[in-house]
């Protein structure tokens, strides 16, 4: 059997997705691999297909008992002999798996990482021919990730103690460079084939706006999209309440969702949104984990999130149906302050020692800086996101606010000199550095208490820019910071001169700034990518789902083990008339066709 027939016969897929094939080839040629794909990207296939082709056993390390059960159930239903070992099993089940391994009954065995520390299990594995060690959710090995599992650190030693070192394959959806390097180092991957793919969502349009008044900007964005379904994310419960009230006052049918609402209301509001009784959901990041609504046509961030990973995950809830959708972030400098506050007061830190807490805080601040850069860049926004995830891309996507925006170069040497000189003079006078807020106050001639107490109103730079708006001054500061003339000390949030500031102050260097001159009108890409499946016959789909439920009850298993939603949609669209046509449906392999084919074909036949 070759990889393509394994994919077809057992999993019912006609093609590998981009990236999957390179990883499968890597493993089959004996190379270690590191696969980075978003959730739903299809990582499992990358080790399940090789597992069918390699001579020995594939051992899968997976952190969650429930995931393990699901995967093994799905494999078994597809005709792949697989089993798992975990603490939820009784003695009888445990020995059945143990004996199954000894008699080489399985292609794949799933275990939790803690199991590797069990000497009896290690001994059992040392006696087996293990071809492949697949590490799922490999970011759990990194202390820089949120899901650190110390027992993942034992994997390399475990692999070394096997009869011969197996091919090692690691998979994750978390892609920061730091975590990637940790995975390679801690697992001891040898020159791995590294594949990063699937992060681009071509149908999503990205934009960042800096409105003076966020609420009216939000109202007009929503007004431009009548009847469309969308999510508005806010940083705090308070902001959710305010925005929710404002939208309803303006006649927008909005629901709200945050952790402060009673469970029953949250569920009711989620249903209202899910079933389009209310088209807009105003929510904190507590909303979204379990929702699966494909026709969300916009995601607007009323506040900037704490990091780009969260942003992309939340924005990515738009356009799941493949239709063009918009992701707009309404940025204001105050969002940075809010995010810093949330980082400094994060509640789940309580049981960590102070050193760990401090290094986590620094990491969060680094991630915040990346997020802030996204809001300020004039480069392609999609490119900025893909860079962060390590995926290659073209220079310009043509489908983001920056690629479509109109930029103008302006000479800002004079205001730059004023600002830099003010930073210098304030530091000279006080003997320490202050934040950007206070510098702005001084430049704009503010009379707040700190300015007066510190005597900064007597500096020659005081009031030098009193005719410059606060936003404009902010924009200058951002530009100077992007160019490295100033930087923010991450520990104290104070503004300092960069090493090249002297060139502007004393040596006549000119400074230019590119600015978006007007917000781009949101233009559609010329052609939306084809939706994944053709529009489906709803009545037929409903009938197929009912049949699936019946078969699941008959077999005493969950419905998705019979066929996934995607498979049923494809089946409804293709309406196969015989077994051969049924096999063309994505997700229908040989075993499932034999087990369920007749029933589903009968439903389709009776529908015409
Ligand atoms: P991940 O582990 O990356 O989150 P999964 O391995 O669970 O993703 O796969 C997600 C979904 O994608 C599954 O429903 C799977 O059947 C489907 N899938 C994976 N590979 C393919 C493929 N080559 N063609 C069609 N569907 C696929
Ligand atoms: Mg997975
Ligand atoms: Zn772009």
Alpha-carbon distance of 105 to 444, in angstroms, equals 77
Beta strand spans in 26-103 (E): 33-36, 57-61, 82-85
Q: Which CATH superfamily is domain 3-196 in?
A: P-loop containing nucleotide triphosphate hydrolases (3.40.50.300)
In order, the DSSP letters of 438-492 are HHHHHHTT---HHHHHTTGGGSTTTTTTTTS-HHHHHHHHHHHHHTTSEEEETTT
**How many whole angstroms from 108 Cα to the centroid of ligand 2?**
15
Does domain 538-606 fall under CATH 1.10.150.80? My reply is: yes
* Closest of 44, 123, 49 to residue 564, by C-alpha: 44
**Which pLDDT value is given to residue 408?**
73
Instruction: Answer yes or no: is the C-beta of 210 below 6 A from any ligand 1 atom.
Output: no
Instruction: Answer yes or no: is the C-beta of 35 below 6 A from any ligand 1 atom.
Output: no
Residue 165: phi, psi to the nearest 5? Answer: -65, 125
CA angle 318, 208, 405 (to 5 degrees): 110
Instruction: Answer yes or no: is the C-beta of 197 below 6 A from any ligand 1 atom.
Output: no
Ligand (nearest to CA of 110): 2
DSSP-derived pairing of the beta strands 33-36 and 108-111: unpaired
Domain with CATH 1.10.10.10 in the chain: 409-518
**How many whole angstroms from 16 Cα to the centroid of ligand 1?**
10
Q: Consecutive sets of 10 residues in the chain, 608 residues long: mean pLDDT of each?
A: 96 93 97 93 96 98 88 94 91 94 97 93 95 96 82 95 96 84 95 93 95 94 94 96 97 96 95 93 88 89 95 93 94 92 75 79 90 94 93 91 82 93 94 92 92 92 90 88 88 89 92 71 49 60 92 84 88 93 92 94 91
**How many whole angstroms from 140 Cα to the centroid of ligand 1?**
21
Instruction: Answer yes or no: is the C-beta of 567 below 6 A from any ligand 1 atom.
Output: no
Atom 16 of ligand 1: nearest residue by CA position: 587
Q: Which CATH superfamily is domain 204-405 in?
A: P-loop containing nucleotide triphosphate hydrolases (3.40.50.300)
Other C-beta atoms lying within 10 Å of the C-beta of residue 550:
14
Ligand (nearest to CA of 37): 1
Domain with CATH 1.10.150.80 in the chain: 538-606
**Which pLDDT value is given to residue 519?**
52
Ligand (nearest to CA of 395): 3
Residue from 17, 35, 44, 587 to probe ligand 1 pocket by mutation (most atoms less than 8 Å from CB): 44
**How many whole angstroms from 15 Cα to the centroid of ligand 1?**
11
**Which pLDDT value is given to residue 139?**
92
**Which pLDDT value is given to residue 340?**
92
Reduced to 3 states, what is the DSSP secondary structure of residue 298? strand
Instruction: Answer yes or no: is the C-beta of 46 below 6 A from any ligand 1 atom.
Output: no
Contact status, residue 7 vs residue 13, Cβ threshold 8 Å: yes
**How many whole angstroms from 46 Cα to the centroid of ligand 1?**
9
Domain with CATH 3.40.50.300 in the chain: 3-196, 204-405
**Which pLDDT value is given to residue 528?**
44
Atom 24 of ligand 1: nearest residue by CA position: 13
Alpha-carbon distance of 606 to 540, in angstroms, equals 10
Q: Which atom of ligand 1 is nearest to the CA of 11?
A: 16
**The domain 409-518: what is its CATH number?**
1.10.10.10
**Which pLDDT value is given to residue 350?**
63
């Amino acid at each position: 059997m070759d990889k393509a027939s394994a994919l077809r016969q057992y999993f019912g897929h006609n093609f590998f997705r981009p990236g999957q094939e390179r990883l499968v080839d890597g493993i089959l040629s004996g190379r270690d691999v590191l696969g980075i794909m978003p959730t739903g990207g299809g990582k499992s296939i990358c080790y399940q297909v090789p597992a069918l082709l390699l001579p020995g056993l594939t051992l899968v390390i997976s952190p969650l008992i429930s995931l393990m059960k699901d995967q093994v159930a799905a494999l078994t239903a597809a005709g792949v002999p697989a089993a798992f070992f975990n603490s939820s099993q009784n003695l009888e089940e445990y020995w059945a798996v143990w004996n199954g391994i000894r008699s080489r009954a399985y292609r794949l065995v799933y275990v939790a990482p803690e199991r590797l520390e069990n000497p009896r299990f290690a001994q059992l594995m040392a006696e087996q021919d293990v071809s492949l060690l697949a590490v799922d959710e490999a970011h759990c090995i990194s202390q820089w990730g949120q899901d650190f599992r110390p027992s993942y650190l034992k994997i390399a030693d475990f692999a070394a103690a096997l009869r011969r070192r197996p091919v090692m394959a690691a998979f994750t959806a978390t892609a920061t460079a730091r975590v990637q390097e940790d995975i390679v180092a801690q697992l001891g991957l040898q020159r791995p084939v590294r594949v990063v793919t699937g992060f681009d969502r071509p149908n999503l349009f990205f934009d960042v706006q800096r409105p003076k008044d966020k609420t009216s900007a939000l109202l007009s964005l929503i007004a431009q999209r009548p009847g469309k379904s969308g999510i508005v994310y806010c940083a705090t419960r308070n902001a959710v309440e305010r925005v929710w009230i404002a939208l309803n006052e303006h006649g927008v049918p909005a629901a709200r969702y945050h952790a402060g609402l009673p469970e029953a209301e949250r569920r009711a509001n989620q249903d209202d949104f899910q079933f389009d009784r209310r088209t807009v959901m105003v929510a904190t990041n507590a909303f979204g984990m379990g929702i699966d609504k494909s026709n969300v046509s916009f995601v607007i961030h009323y506040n900037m999130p704490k990091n780009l990973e969260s942003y992309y995950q939340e924005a990515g809830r738009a356009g799941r149906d493949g239709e063009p959708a918009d992701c707009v972030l309404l940025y204001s400098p105050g969002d940075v302050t809010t995010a810093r506050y949330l980082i400094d007061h994060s509640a789940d830190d309580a049981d960590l020692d102070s050193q760990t807490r401090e290094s986590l805080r620094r990491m969060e601040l680094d991630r915040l800086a990346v997020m802030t850069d996204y809001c300020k860049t004039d480069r392609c926004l999609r490119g900025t996101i893909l860079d962060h995830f390590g995926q290659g891309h073209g220079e310009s996507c043509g489908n983001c606010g920056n690629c479509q925006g109109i930029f103008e170069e302006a000479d800002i040497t004079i205001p730059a000199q004023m600002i830099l000189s003010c930073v210098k003079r304030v530091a000279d006078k006080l003997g320490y550095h202050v934040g950007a807020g206070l510098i702005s106050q001084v430049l704009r001639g503010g009379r707040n208490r700190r300015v007066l107490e510190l005597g900064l109103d007597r500096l020659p730079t005081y009031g030098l820019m009193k005719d410059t708006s606060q936003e404009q001054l902010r924009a200058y500061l951002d530009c100077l910071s992007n160019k490295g003339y100033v930087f923010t000390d991450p520990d104290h949030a104070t503004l300092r001169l960069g090493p090249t500031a002297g060139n502007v102050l004393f040596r006549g260097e000119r400074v230019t700034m590119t600015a978006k001159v007007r917000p781009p009108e949101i233009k559609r890409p010329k052609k939306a990518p084809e939706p994944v499946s053709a529009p489906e016959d709803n009545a037929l789909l409903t009938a197929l789902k009912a049949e699936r439920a019946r078969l699941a009850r008959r077999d005493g298993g969950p419905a998705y083990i019979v066929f996934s939603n995607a498979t049923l949609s494809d089946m409804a669209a293709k309406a196969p008339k015989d077994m051969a046509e049924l096999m063309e449906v994505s997700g229908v392999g040989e075993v499932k066709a034999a087990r369920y084919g007749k029933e589903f074909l009968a439903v389709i036949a009776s529908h015409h």
